[in-house]
Amino acid sequence: MKEKLTFEERFDKLMSSIEESNEKSNKEHEKVMKAHEKAMKEIAEIRAMQKENEMESKKLRDSIKETNRNINGISSSNGYIVEDAIYTAVKKDMTFADVEFYDVFRNLNKHKKTINKKGEYDIVLVNCELLAILEAKYKVNEEDVEKLATSQIEKFRLLFPEYQNHKIILGIGGMGFEGDSFDKAKQLGIIPIRVFGEDIEYNTEGMKMF
């Protein structure tokens, strides 16, 4: 026969059970808090790494921008050298492609609002019947050649209608010709001009009037 517990014994047993349960709960709570602290620490470390990466990325972007600015500056400077060499050479005796001209313009530009067109032309030589439009680049590529033979000349006709009846000779010069740009120029009837320091070299074989 099972012995009955007194009220005091039952109460003590209940309190003991509650204390044991509380102890377990406290231990679980402590484990949860430690896990939470560990997670928060890891999150803080990740955020710090992200911030550091963002700073490094910004430094890299700034460095790339600066490099591009320097490259563009060098290209612009070399483009000016090419333009100066061609301009000096043609202005000296006012001839190009065995044609004599009476005027030469450098960086001829115009903006015509009525037709919403604007254009800039590095060197333009003029006489009573002919025009020579010469484009100067540091390095000439095929796109430069095609643009000169199409949109550049078409825009010139619209911007300067006073030369509507003039025939046009085209030339493009640079310190170098990339890809097939040299042959492309000759194929289109544009005179390719090679620049060597202050000297220029070209021939009129295959030249066309536009």
| Low-confidence winner among 45-49, 88-92, 166-170, 192-196 (lowest mean pLDDT) | 45-49
Total count of domains within the chain: 1
Q: Is the pLDDT of residue 78 over 50?
A: yes
pLDDT score at 74:
44
Domain enclosing residue 177, as ranges: 1-210
Distance of alpha carbon 62 from alpha carbon 77, whole angstroms = 22
pTM of the model: 0.65
- Where does the pLDDT of residue 70 fall: very low under 50, low under 70, confident under 90, or very high at 90 and above? very low
pLDDT score at 69:
55
pLDDT score at 39:
72
**DSSP letter assigned to residue 180:** T
More confident site: 126 or 52: 126
pLDDT score at 21:
67
* Residue 196, both tokens: 């060597």
CATH number of the domain residue 35 falls in: 3.40.1350.10
Q: Is the pLDDT of residue 79 over 50?
A: yes
pLDDT (mean) for 94-110: 95
- The residue type found at 68 is N
pLDDT (mean) for 144-148: 96
Q: Is the pLDDT of residue 106 over 90?
A: yes
* Runs of H (alpha helix) within 104-169: 142-147, 153-159
Q: What is the percent of the chain with per-residue pLDDT over 90, rounded to a whole number? A: 57
* Residue 120, both tokens: 């800039």
